[in-house]
Every structure is written in C-alpha cells, then in structure tokens.
Structure 1
Amino acid sequence: MKKILILDKDNVTLRALLLALQRYSDLEVIVAHDRNEISQGLQQLAIDLVITDIEGTESCCFELIEYLNQQFSELPVAVLSVPLSADFESRLGKLRIARRFTKPLKAEETAKKIHQHLTNGAVGQLKGLSLTSVLQLMNVERKNCVLTVQTDTDRGELFLREGEIVAAKTATMRGKDAAYTIISWDEVRIDFLDKNYTVTQEISEPFMALVMEALRLKDEMALPVTSSQLQAQSLENDDIQQQSAPITLIEKQIASLLDPSPGIIEYSLYDHNHNLRLFKSRGQQPVKNIQPGLLYDKTHEIAQLLNAGSFKHMVVNDANGVRHVFFTFKDVFITVGLRREQSVKKFLQQFKAKFEAPVRF
C-alpha cells in the first residue's frame, strides 16, 4: 500500500481530495496540519509521496519544498497551487517537484493522476509464493531488483544486487535489522520492481546466512510479528465502528513508534473526544476497552494527574501480568499494554526521547 502525506490548510480542497483518494484501496492517506511535524514524520514513516500547497503569498511554502528536496532527495513532492506571480513561478521552476495541480482542483481527476503516478513502474505483484521462496528465486537468478513487502500494517523494501540482499528499510529501521524484520513478516504482499537502482550497501552477510538468522529470530519471537490488522476506528455506543476521519500524522507517528517494540502486547489511541482512533493487539481478543477518557469520568484526581503534563501517567496491572499504561501526548490519549518484564519508566523515557529535538525550517 502506497502512503501519501498531505499538508494543506485549505480544508475544502483537502476534504475533496481526501474523499477522492479514499476510493483507491491501495492508497493510505495521512494528514498533516503543521509543517513543523513533517520532518520527524518522514524520518519515522515510509512515505511515498508528499502533497503540499503554495498559496502564492507565503515564502514558507517554498522553504518546505526546498527542505524536502535537500533532506529527502528521493521523495517525490506534488504541489497544489493557485496561479502564481512571475517571481514565484521562477522560484518554483528551480525546485524539484513530481507533479503540479492548479487550484481549484478537479478532485476525482487529480486523485486518478496521483494514483497513476504512484502505481506506474512496478512490474507486478508476486502471488502464491512465500517471501523466502521469492528471495531464493531472486538469489538463484542473481537478480538486480527491489522487493516491496507489505502486510496489513507494515511496509518495507529489500534491495537485491546479483541476488544478494544489500540494503533494506522499513518505516523505523534500516540495514540488517530491517531485513530481519521484513523476512519475519507473515501473510505478505510482494511487489517486484526489476530495475537498476543506486543504493549504498548496508548488508554484507551472505544471502543464506541472512535469511536463516532472520528465521531463527522469528522462531525465538525476538522480533514483533504483525498478527492483527491496524485499523482506524471509533468507539460509539460500546460498539467498534469504522472511523471515517483520516489518520493524522501524529497518530501515525505514535503508532509507528509503538509497533516495533517486542515489549508491547497491545495499544490504542484516542482523540480528545475519547473516540478510538487506532489499535493493535498481539492477542486473540481486541484491545481492552479501557482508556484515559473513561478514567476522567471516574476520578477527578486521575484527571488532574493526566492533565498535569504530556508524560504524566497511570499504571494498572491486570490478572495476566499485563501493565496498562495510560498517558497523553500532543492531544492524543494513549493506552499501552506492556509485558510483565518491560519497565514502565524505561518505556516512557524511550517514547519521549523519540520525539525530542524536532527539526524545524
């Protein structure tokens, strides 16, 4: 599934484009409302396309694209803009952009062009084969190719040169660790891109040694396995309903940081109205229906504690030895179920550290 990050302050334009893009099941749309969120989000998420706007009067619109061109040189950027002055047209012409769409947009036509831009070039999807079988075939054939591997919740890329895996990346990892993680995934979809590419070699282990080590780590459960689908949902009348509002960048960032941790059994994210937004559980049952919003209604003291700061928290232990940690971060209410051996203090310190020192431009 291709991931699109949209930044647009024009809510009418954004809403129309979102609705049009949501008709494509192989696209995932993430919304950013603040330019300062983007840098960290791109470092943590595997984004395939950024769509931003140029209003024609703000220099910061160009500064964002310049920053993306410099720091994420391989990332395509599409621009939505009104007609520009001659000076701004000249400045735009010096930037590297993938597509330009003029406002007012024809939403359906624009969405179609975006979908075509993201899906063109792939040779096809490999079906009916396990990832290890595909890798062995590529190794025997000494292929130069890129394999895009996807589950319902994760996406990664394996770069092969003469059949050897020389680089790998996921949203949160690169190199050997990323390769181990990707190879451990179950129920994957594999897109095969047969082309020459330029990538720095990050992995030197022989092919078979790398694959065998990944499978050994999987057997030992040293790596998280995505066994349940990450879904956007809302809580209404005690029933879980499909959430229609698009996932925000901060929600996606938080989920991407929680996903790779083997110490986490389950987690759920809620908005400021206490609607369930995202959840994931390694167990057979859904995430427990307990969240910070419900605690607010029960104990005023707890409400004051959670409101005191971004990383004030409460811990509840259940009979199965799971520690449920409740805290808030940037208006997102978070419940995390930790394994018994996982330190709550260390978990919160690591979570906080991953969001510190954002890059601004």
Structure 2
Amino acid sequence: MKTVLLVDDEKPFLLSLRDGLATLADQLTVVLAHNGREALEILKGRGIDLVVTDLKMPIMDGFALMAEMMMTYPTIPVVVMTAYSTPSILQQMERLGTFKCMEKPLDIKTLRGRVLEELDAGERGYIRGVTLTSFLQLIEMEGKTCTLLLRKAGRRGYLCFRAGRLVGASAGRFHGVKAAEVISQWEHVEISIDPLCRKEEKDLSVSIAGIILDQVRLQDEASVGAGPPRRAPPDDEEETDDIDTVLDELNVFMELNDEDTKPKLHRPTSKTNISTLSPEQDERRNMSVQEKLREFAGIEGFMGAGVFTPAGEPLAIHAAGVNNLPAVGALANNVLLNAQKATLEMGAGRGQLVHIEGEKAHILVRCLNEGTNPLKSEPGKTHIHLVLMLSDGMSIGMAKMRINSIIEKLADEFRP
C-alpha cells in the first residue's frame, strides 16, 4: 500500500482531492497537510511515497517545503499544482527530467493518472525527486521575488530573483550569469529562502531557464561529438572560503524582516557530535536553551541569537525580528572558522571570538570547544558556536561579557 501526501491551504479543495482519489483506496492511502510545515511533520513521522503540493500557502509555502525536501527527502517524487504554468514551460521541465506540474483547476481523472504514473515510476526504480534545476524553473514560472542562499559541500552562492527574473548571482569568485551557470550544475544543495530580493546587479535581468537549457544543450552537443562544450567553470575553481566572499554574502543576508520570529529548536541535518534525545528530552532541552538565549534580550539593540554546530548547522534560534538568522549565523560561523585557522597559523593560539561590524548590524561569534583539537569535535566534549546579532555597537562590551557567560551555561545542554 502506497501513501500519498496532499498539501494545500484550501481545505475544501484539499478534501475534494482526497475524495477524487477515493477510487484508488485499494492501492494507496491519502494523508492531508494544510501547509509546508505540517507536511514536514508528516514526512518525519511516516513513510511517504509521493507528495502533491500547492506553491502558495501561509506559514510555509511550497517552495520552502521543496527546499527542505531537496536536502532531507531527495528521493521522494513531487507533483506541483500551479495556476501559472504554460505549455512551453511544462515542455522545458519535461525535457530536463524534473518533477511534474499540474495546472489548476485540476481534473480529478488526470490527477489519478498522474499519481499512479509517479508511483509506478518509483516501483520501476525511476526516482524523480526535487532537483535544483526544476526548483529554479518554478521560481521563474511563478514570477517569485526572493533571494536564495545555496550551500553545497562547503561552497556557497546566492541567486536573487525579481518577479521571476534573475537579477543577482554570486558563487565564489564568479558573479552574474557565470555564477548562475556554476550553481545550476550543483547537486545535493541546501537552500535557504529569503522572501525579499536582497541584491540586484546593474544590467542583469535574465531567464534562469535559458541558462539551464543552454547548459543542457551544450551537454547534448558534446554527447553527439559536436566538439567540447563551453561549460561553466568547475566547482574546484571556486574560492568560496575566501573571507571577502563570505563577508559579501553575509552582507546580503543581514537585511531584516519581521516574519516567522517564533523561537525554534533545530535538529542538525547531517551527522554532528551532538547527543540524540527522545522527543520529551528534546522539548525539555529546547525550553532550557531558549531560557538561556532570552538572557540576551536585555542588551540594547538585541536582534537575535543562535547556537550552531561547528559545521554551521543551527541547533537553536531565538530571534527578535530576524527571519534570516540561520543563514546569517551559518556565514558568520564560517568567518569564525577562518579566524581560528589564521590565529593558529600566527602562533596566537585558538581564536575564541569574532566581532563582525556591518552597516546594518554587529555580529559576535563565540566558540566553545572542550576538546584538545582546536578545529575538530571530540567524543564526549561540547563543541558549539554561539552567534549574537545587535543593531548597533553601543553595548558591545556588555554583549561580550554576556556571550562568554551564556555559552558556558549552554555547554551542558549540548554535551554528547
């Protein structure tokens, strides 16, 4: 018995889809979610064979859901419901082998056929999960305005969209179209989404689908012996660990908005030296960590604080109007790592704290590593980074004393 997850914020529409699939009750079970966040909770708790999702939803939209699925559930096939597709765009996405789109309003008979088709593909070993190229084409197709921060195996880049058009891009030492070409070839990417377009480059307003299709065309020509293709620069030519590059990306993501400011506890998405807890223990630790992070709120200009693994994965976030603290913290985390390497090379010992002074915020990053290896985590030893954001530098002295005190209190919470 297969399980299909339907995601849409319009309850009557969602129920009509469920009823339409009732004739397949002997072949599949239908589960419902009203937004992306509910869908992720369901994905965590049970096996899902296919996701059918809308894009425009409150709390967490379909784009954010698929960004998470790319990282955490890359093999689960997705069917997207959209009211903005055109035959030409659908043909482009089919050519790229990306996920299926269905136009609203849906024809129930067509939906049943599409669901069976996708499930049958999975039975035959043909996995159609969310890919970066399909995700970017949806951004364009929906005319979405946003900034994407993308990470892949230590590399970082960003893509800025205005009404679906690419208006800014950076990947290491590359910018503009070349950066987009590099990023479009990445696989297994982690994506953070900002709902605003943070950076626009002069004279850059291009179709991301055109860039992707150009790369596909060049690969096709090479495969039939038409000569060596003009490819985007390979990943190993990028210099994304350069400190200026990291600070430039950090500046893009230091812009503020007041959405989604509820404090959260985040579980690491990859293997880290952090203890695994039961749901009840996890909730108790969450409350304890949030209580400690709230001690920063009394500092003038407080914007947010977060606990991160040395790899930049958020463990706990307490924000006061900062929606992008996980992305900002991950980049600031990398600044600290570069500083630690530099102080060791200079013979000054292990760097413990970095102060980043930006035009829009001051960021403090503090390391606590109980192990003997300056740059690596050790079994049974706490190794965390604490990030604090302030709107100005008036209280930096107080903030530095507070961050040293609070990180010591947090050590027991995250000891393996």
Determine which structure has greater relative contact order: mean sequence separation of CA pairs < 8 Å that are 6+ residues apart, divided by chain length. 1
Q: TM-score, normalised by structure 1?
A: 0.31
Structure having the larger proportion of residues in helix: 2
Structure having the larger proportion of residues in strand: 1
